[in-house]
């Protein structure tokens, strides 16, 4: 599909694409913004190199994509309630934030459609983000498996990472980021295990090991047996793109059809990213 106002360079698989020819510090004309949104829908993960942005400019660009989402369990930046600073100091020993396959805030009734991440300080080694293409993972399933999964609802919750007995509550090492553990994390929300994208109409697997705790109508053992097989399938190398960051790069990914994993490997180095989310819709 051709673009008149932006330069789009997709990965060989079509999953993930770089976008050039824009200055995101200024409002985008309507036709240009429409092409950015189309490229994002087509490729699920898109990135814009060389975009030095203030926090206000990041907020303005986010609102051009859509209204802000709600980000629970992490304290936002002072005077910027919709911006999270993902910061890890050189001397931190805690596991890097986001080190587990997930789709952001899938435990919400209306999880965010997009996550936007802007690179402020990039370490000289490590810090890649891995993305899994849940559309191609679904397409690769047999017709018999697709039929089995059709109509199943997965149970999502923040209990494992963010409850008062969760992973972050039990941490011994200090973090630069302020994570808020809460009883609210024990709440559950069901979503279709196979989700239909509201723009492309394509189906994607919508479960993750961080936020999916079971399948409605199945025992815990049955749920984990089925989910474990799906997780192994979804994160096969042929479905995964490893994203390497550059300073001032901005990346948008689609939580409705991808999983992501924050890789480490940069102990001893400072890493600073600024994150916003764009509100989504109830999964169907």
Is residue 248 annotated as a catalytic residue, yes or no?
no
Is residue 102 annotated as a catalytic residue, yes or no?
yes
Contact 167, 136 (CB under 8 A): no
Give me the catalytic one of 82, 102, 256, 271: 102
Q: Which of 62, 184, 74 lies closest to 112, judged by CA?
A: 62
Taking only the tens place, the pLDDT of each residue in 16-30 is 999 999 999 999 999
Query: How many other β-carbons are positioned within 10 Å of the β-carbon of residue 86?
Result: 19
Q: Specify the pLDDT at position 1.
A: 63
- Structure tokens that stand for 124 in this block: 């000289």
Give me the catalytic one of 104, 118, 136, 197: 104
Cβ-in-10-Å burial (0-12, 13-18, 19+) of 259 comes to buried
Q: What is the pLDDT along the chain (284 residues), one digit of tens a residue?
A: 689 999 999 999 999 999 999 999 999 999 999 999 999 999 999 999 999 999 999 999 999 999 999 999 999 999 999 999 999 999 999 999 999 999 999 999 999 999 999 999 999 999 999 999 999 999 999 999 999 999 999 999 999 999 999 999 999 999 999 999 999 999 999 999 999 999 999 999 999 999 999 999 999 999 999 999 999 999 999 999 999 999 999 999 999 999 999 999 999 999 999 999 999 999 99
Q: Which of 86, 29, 26, 37 lies closest to 61, judged by CA?
A: 26
| Gyration radius of the chain's alpha carbons | 18
Contact 181, 168 (CB under 8 A): yes
C-alpha span between 24 and 72 (Å, rounded) = 27
Chain Cα centroid distance, residue 161: 16
Give me the catalytic one of 191, 195, 197, 275: 275
Is residue 43 annotated as a catalytic residue, yes or no?
no
Q: Specify the pLDDT at position 2.
A: 87
pTM above 0.95, yes or no: yes
C-alpha span between 58 and 267 (Å, rounded) = 27
DSSP notation for the chain: ---SSSEEEE-TTSS-EEEES--TTSPPPHHHHHHHHHHHHHHSEEEESS----HHHHHHHHHHH--B----SB--BTTBTT-EEEEE-TT--SPPTT-S-B-TTTTSSS--SEEEEEEEE--SS---EEEEEHHHHHHTS-HHHHHHHTT-EEEEESHHHHSTTSTTTT--S--SS-B---GGGG-EEEEESEEE-TTT--EEE---TTTEEEETTS-HHHHHHHHHHHHHHHTSGGGEEEEPP-TT-EEEEETTTEEEEE----TTS-EEEEEEEE------
C-alpha span between 73 and 70 (Å, rounded) = 10
Give me the catalytic one of 88, 260, 271, 274: 260
Is residue 274 annotated as a catalytic residue, yes or no?
no
């Amino acid at each position: 599909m051709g673009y008149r106002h932006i330069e789009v360079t997709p990965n060989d698989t079509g999953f993930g694409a770089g976008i050039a020819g824009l200055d995101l510090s200024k409002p985008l004309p309507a036709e240009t913004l429409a092409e950015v949104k189309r490229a994002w829908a087509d490729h699920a993960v898109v990135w814009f190199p060389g975009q030095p942005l203030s926090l206000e400019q990041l907020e303005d660009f986010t609102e051009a994509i859509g209204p802000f989402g709600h980000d629970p369990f992490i304290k936002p930046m002072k005077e910027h309630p919709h911006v999270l600073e993902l910061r890890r100091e050189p001397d931190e020993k805690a596991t890097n934030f986001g080190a587990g396959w997930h789709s952001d805030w899938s435990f919400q009734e209306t999880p965010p459609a997009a996550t936007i991440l802007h690179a402020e300080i990039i370490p000289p080694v490590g810090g890649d983000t891995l993305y899994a293409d849940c559309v191609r993972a679904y397409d690769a399933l047999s017709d018999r498996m697709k039929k089995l999964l059709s109509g199943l609802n997965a149970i999502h919750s923040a209990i494992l990472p963010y409850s008062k007995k969760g992973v972050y509550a039990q941490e011994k090492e200090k973090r630069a980021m302020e994570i808020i553990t809460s009883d609210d994390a024990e709440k559950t929300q069901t979503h279709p295990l196979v989700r239909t994208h509201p723009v492309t109409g394509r189906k994607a697997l919508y479960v993750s090991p961080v936020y999916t705790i079971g399948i409605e109508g199945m025992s815990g053992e049955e749920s984990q047996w089925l989910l474990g097989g799906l997780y192994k399938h979804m994160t096969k190398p042929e479905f995964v793109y490893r994203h390497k960051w550059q300073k001032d790069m901005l990346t948008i990914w689609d939580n409705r059809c991808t999983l992501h994993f924050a890789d480490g490997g940069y102990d001893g180095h400072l890493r600073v990213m600024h994150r916003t989310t764009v509100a989504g819709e109830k999964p169907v």
